[in-house]
């Protein structure tokens, strides 16, 4: 019987390798509060991601919230309607007002031209998402924010290891945030990071995530507990040396999907990559002609033990606690996007099974 195929499967290192890291933790008895593995992981991530400062935190949502606090943002923040809910909910949680600027039809990332149209006297920043690891038009957004005096934050949860014209993605904007959740290409089971090249911002981030502490008996200011622990850092240190190989594997899996799906039908397409981007192939999204075709395909895939995901659906402009704003393209595209199974260890036979079932549902087999 064929094995069920989820949309993703967590990558785990060899068990003995992780246990060896745990043994060191037990010997030292240092479990949390900036332990040696956390410090080592932060150093290695700074080097890998090409950024001056990086702080390992509890999760990607908290990373966004710390970024907003570090920049002292309020008022209106222009953001994308096509992202995971945390992008918008973090803004509302921090008592900012999300204002949606629509996405580009090809890349599915926020449109700099639509951002420009959405700016008002109350606008203080832009929060943009690199979608499926495909980067935004970073140079256009940087130029716009400089011209209009706005802060620029990137939700890079999907973009670990991505670069644009040879420049690592973590260095763009005032701050970039990452998720290291177990579903991500690189993970620490739960975790995230806040990255910046700005020394003053780095100082604020450092105490914001640690109760505001300035030593044991003094405080720089307000803070929360955003730290992460040695157990999670151990997982990250086991996986980080494997990232290049994981990306290469996913590149090959993408190519196999492309060969089987896109060459055989005009009924599907993939989002187009941003020019100059070196991708991480973290997801395999396809766009259907209409929602009816997507739902029919999902039903047949589910019947075959295959579990794709409508990622992202619904668009964030339809959340009950926001205003719809400029989101027509996102609202038209979101019902037509489906992410197919993609993870380390997925086989060519698995891809054939997914592709054949999908094409059959479209009448294109």
Among 241, 264, 299, which residue terminates a domain?
A: 241
| Residue 93, domain member (yes or no) | yes
Claim to verify: residue 212 and residue 305 sit in the same structural domain: no
| Residue 6, domain member (yes or no) | no
Length of the chain: 365
The dihedral through the CA atoms of 113, 118, 123, 127 has a sign that is: negative
| Residue 3, domain member (yes or no) | no
Claim to verify: residue 67 and residue 138 sit in the same structural domain: yes
Claim to verify: residue 257 and residue 227 sit in the same structural domain: no
Task: Please answer whether residues 278 and 167 qualify as being in contact, where contact means their C-beta atoms are separated by less than 8 angstroms.
Answer: no
CA distances, 219 to each of 31, 33, 70, 215, 361 (Å): 23, 16, 15, 7, 61
Range of the domain at 300: 242-361
As to burial, measured by CB atoms within 10 angstroms (0-12 exposed, 13-18 middle, 19+ buried), residue 72 is: exposed
Among 193, 223, 241, which residue terminates a domain?
A: 241
Claim to verify: residue 277 and residue 155 sit in the same structural domain: no
**Structure tokens, 18:** 């992780």
- The Cα 38–Cα 279 span in angstroms is 27
| Residue 37, domain member (yes or no) | yes
pLDDT value of position 1: 46
**Whole-prediction pTM:** 0.96
Q: Which residues contact 143 (CB under 8 A, 6 or more apart)?
A: none
CATH code, 284 = 3.90.1150.10
Claim to verify: residue 143 and residue 219 sit in the same structural domain: yes
Print pLDDT tens along the chain (365 aa).
467 999 999 999 999 999 999 999 999 999 999 999 999 999 999 999 999 999 999 999 999 999 999 999 999 999 999 999 999 999 999 999 999 999 999 999 999 999 999 999 999 999 999 999 999 999 999 999 999 999 999 999 999 999 999 999 999 999 999 999 999 999 999 999 999 999 999 999 999 999 999 999 999 999 999 999 999 999 999 999 999 999 999 999 999 999 999 987 788 999 999 999 999 999 999 999 999 999 999 999 999 999 999 999 999 999 999 999 999 999 999 999 999 999 999 999 999 999 999 999 998 75
Task: Please answer whether residues 176 and 157 qualify as being in contact, where contact means their C-beta atoms are separated by less than 8 angstroms.
Answer: no
Task: Please answer whether residues 170 and 197 qualify as being in contact, where contact means their C-beta atoms are separated by less than 8 angstroms.
Answer: no
CATH code, 89 = 3.40.640.10
Q: Which residues contact 28 (CB under 8 A, 6 or more apart)?
A: 35, 36
Claim to verify: residue 260 and residue 218 sit in the same structural domain: no
Sheet of 123-129, strands arranged across: 53-57, 192-196, 175-179, 151-155, 123-129, 76-79, 97-100
Claim to verify: residue 61 and residue 199 sit in the same structural domain: yes
Claim to verify: residue 50 and residue 84 sit in the same structural domain: yes
pLDDT value of position 226: 97
Claim to verify: residue 227 and residue 291 sit in the same structural domain: no
CB under 8 Å, gap of 24 or more: what pairs does 329-334 form? Answer: 329/102, 329/103, 329/104, 329/105, 330/80, 330/81, 330/82, 330/100, 330/102, 330/103, 331/81, 333/82, 333/103, 333/105, 333/108, 333/287, 334/82
pLDDT value of position 365: 58
| Residue 224, domain member (yes or no) | yes
- The Cα 128–Cα 176 span in angstroms is 10
- The Cα 303–Cα 212 span in angstroms is 52
Which of 68, 96, 62 minimizes the C-alpha distance to 209?
62
Among 214, 241, 268, which residue terminates a domain?
A: 241
Q: What is the domain count for the chain?
A: 2
């Amino acid at each position: 019987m064929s094995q069920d195929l989820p949309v993703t499967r967590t990558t785990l290192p060899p068990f003995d390798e992780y246990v060896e890291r745990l043994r060191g933790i037990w010997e030292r008895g240092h479990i949390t509060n900036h332990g040696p593995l956390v410090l080592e992981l932060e150093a290695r991530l700074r080097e890998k991601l090409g950024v001056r400062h990086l702080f390992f935190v509890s999760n990607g949502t908290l990373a966004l919230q710390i970024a907003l606090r570090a920049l002292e943002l309020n008022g209106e923040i222009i953001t994308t309607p096509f992202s995971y809910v945390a992008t918008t909910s973090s803004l509302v949680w921090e008592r900012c007002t999300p204002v949606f600027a629509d996405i580009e039809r090809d890349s599915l990332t926020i449109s700099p031209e639509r951002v420009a149209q959405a700016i008002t006297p109350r606008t203080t920043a832009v929060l943009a998402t690199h979608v499926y690891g495909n980067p935004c038009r970073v140079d256009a957004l940087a130029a716009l924010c400089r011209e209009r005096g706005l802060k620029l934050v990137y939700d890079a949860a999907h973009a670990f290891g991505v670069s644009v014209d040879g420049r690592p993605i973590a260095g763009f904007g005032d701050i970039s945030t990452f998720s290291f959740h177990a579903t991500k290409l690189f993970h620490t089971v739960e975790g995230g990071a806040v990255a910046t090249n700005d020394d003053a911002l780095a100082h604020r981030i450092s105490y914001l995530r640690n109760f505001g502490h300035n030593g044991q008996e003094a405080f720089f200011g307000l803070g929360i507990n955003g730290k992460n622990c040695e157990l999670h850092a151990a997982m990250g240190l086991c996986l980080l040396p494997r990232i290049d190989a994981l990306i290469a594997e996913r590149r090959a899996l993408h190519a196999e999907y492309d060969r089987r799906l896109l060459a055989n039908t005009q009924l599907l397409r993939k989002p187009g990559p941003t020019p100059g981007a070196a991708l991480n192939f973290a997801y395999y999204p396809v766009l259907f002609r209409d929602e009816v075709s997507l739902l029919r395909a999902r039903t047949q895939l589910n019947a075959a033990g295959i579990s794709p995901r409508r990622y992202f659906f619904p668009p964030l402009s339809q959340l009950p606690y926001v205003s719809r704003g400029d989101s027509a393209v996102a609202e038209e595209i979101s019902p037509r996007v489906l992410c197919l199974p993609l993870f380390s260890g997925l086989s060519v036979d698995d891809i054939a099974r997914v592709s054949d079932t999908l094409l059959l549902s479209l009448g294109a087999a």
